[in-house]
Amino acid sequence: MIPDPLPWHDAQRARLERSIAAGAIPHALLLRGPGGNGESHFASRSAAAVLCLEQTRGSPPCGECDSCVLCASGGHPDRIDVGVREERREIVIDQIREIIHLTNLTPRIGRRKVVLIDPAERVNHHAANTLLKTLEEPPGETVFILVSTNAALLPATVRSRCQMIDFPTPAPAMALEWLEKTLVHEHSKYDAADLLEIAHGAPFGALALVAEEQIDLRRELAIEVDALLAGEDPLKIAAAWKVKGLDRVSWWIGDILAVRLRESALEGRVRSQLLPLVDQCLEIRRRVMGRGNPNEQLAIERLAITIATAGRAA
Ligand SMILES: [Zn+2]
């Protein structure tokens, strides 16, 4: 399926369509945003637009040409997708070599090929170095589309070779209207405004909460944080958190604490002890997502113990 245009992507879409119409598509685009704003959705639509054979007929993708039909079926031979393979944490050099090989072959359908790298910040150091030259002068009319929710992790040498398109969080009313419609369409039981609040206004972030049952996980974690503050054994809670995984636990605990602190529902001394934890959770999350490798058990136990200690300060 070619993704529908999203209302909060109007400016970004107009910019890309202008370059396509002028026959001046950049060699490499870097779509960057905080995540959850439909960055990958836009990338997929842009790939179809770049590959569309009827680009002179209004705004691509036309949805009807041979290329668009193939994009819609998910099997376009000139669209090359690169992501993190299941058993890995990074995009590795072999994957980049394979792309370079494929981009050197003649396109099968039209004049162009598109390479989609998502999440681009996971391209490791060696792979990034190998990619550089091709990114600067792609063979034929290949267009690279990189998507990153943490573009700062990308080497400056990669960033400087790309034209950036930013994806800020949409206006709240627009996000709410879109999410409400989407949830109704999916017969979802969740409330759009609640989800958006938890997802900090990011519409796709809100949808992911539903899709991955994250909302239920967050609810459980919030109950466990309260239990810790009320004197529950931190090691018992830590054992439960280990099952949930450091990645998700650190993300949600940071979020839950930030909301609690904002709501001022906590007493002064408890606040002062919990405040640094919000940043610590962010830091743990960065290390988990990046290439650092925190000791999972230790990090989880520390989190639980710090919250329990703060509870005792009340
Ligand atoms: Zn088309």
In a 10 Å sphere around its CB, with 0-12 CB exposed, 13-18 middle and 19+ buried, how is residue 207 labelled? buried
Both tokens of 80, joined, read 């090359």
Spans of the chain, pLDDT less than 70: 57-58, 265, 289-293
Residue 2 forms part of a structural domain: no
Both tokens of 123, joined, read 């391209």
Same domain? For 40 and 110 the reply is yes
Residue 88 forms part of a structural domain: yes
Q: Which of 212, 243, 272 is the last residue of a domain?
A: 212
CA 177-18-142 angle, 5° bins = 105
Tally of domains in the chain: 3
In a 10 Å sphere around its CB, with 0-12 CB exposed, 13-18 middle and 19+ buried, how is residue 217 labelled? middle
Q: State how far the Cα of 249 lies from the Cα of 217, in Å rounded to an integer.
A: 9
Ligand 1 center to 45 CA (angstroms): 11
Ligand 1 center to 75 CA (angstroms): 14
Ligand 1 center to 255 CA (angstroms): 42
Same domain? For 91 and 200 the reply is no
The per-residue pLDDT for range 87-146, each reduced to its tens digit, is: 888 999 999 999 999 999 999 999 999 999 999 999 999 999 999 999 999 999 999 999
Same domain? For 238 and 312 the reply is yes
Same domain? For 137 and 124 the reply is yes
Same domain? For 17 and 107 the reply is yes
Q: For residue 87, what pLDDT is reported?
A: 80
Q: State how far the Cα of 216 lies from the Cα of 261, in Å rounded to an integer.
A: 21
Same domain? For 270 and 297 the reply is yes
Which structural domain range is residue 11 located in? 7-166
Ligand 1 center to 133 CA (angstroms): 30
The distance of Cα 233 from the centroid of its chain, to the nearest Å, equals: 35
Residue 175 forms part of a structural domain: yes
Same domain? For 27 and 79 the reply is yes
Q: Which of 180, 212, 244 is the last residue of a domain?
A: 212
Q: Look up tokens 């090989």; give the residue.
A: 101
Distances (CA, A) of 179 to 31, 68, 171, 204, 215: 22, 26, 12, 8, 15
Same domain? For 230 and 149 the reply is no
